[in-house]
Amino acid sequence: EVTTDEGGGTPDASCSVGYRVVGEWPGGFQGEIAVRNTGSAAVGPWTLAFSFADGQSITNMWGGTATQDAGAVSVAPAP
C-alpha cells in the first residue's frame, strides 16, 4: 500500500510497486522494491507499508528509510 502524507489515502496519481528477491543465502536474502510513478502527476511525499509474514527483519536499506514493528514495515523516501 502506498499512501501520501496529505490525507493518508491512495494518491490520485498512479503508481505501481514491484518486489523481487535478488539474492538468497542461509538465514537471509536481498530483496528489491521499486515504487514507480506511472501517471503524469507527482506523487509525494509518500510512504510504502507492507508486512513480512515469517519473522523477517530489515537490517540494511538503500534509497529509503524503514521503520519496523514486528512484521509491519513502513518505508519513506531517503532524505
Task: Please write the tens of the pLDDT for every residue from 16-69.
Answer: 899 999 999 999 999 999 988 888 888 778 899 999 988 899 999 999 999 999
Mean of pLDDT values over 1-17: 62
pLDDT of residue 3: 57
pLDDT of residue 5: 57
pLDDT of residue 68: 96
Closest CA to 47 of 17, 8, 76: 76
Overall size of the chain counted in residues: 79
pTM of the full predicted structure? 0.75
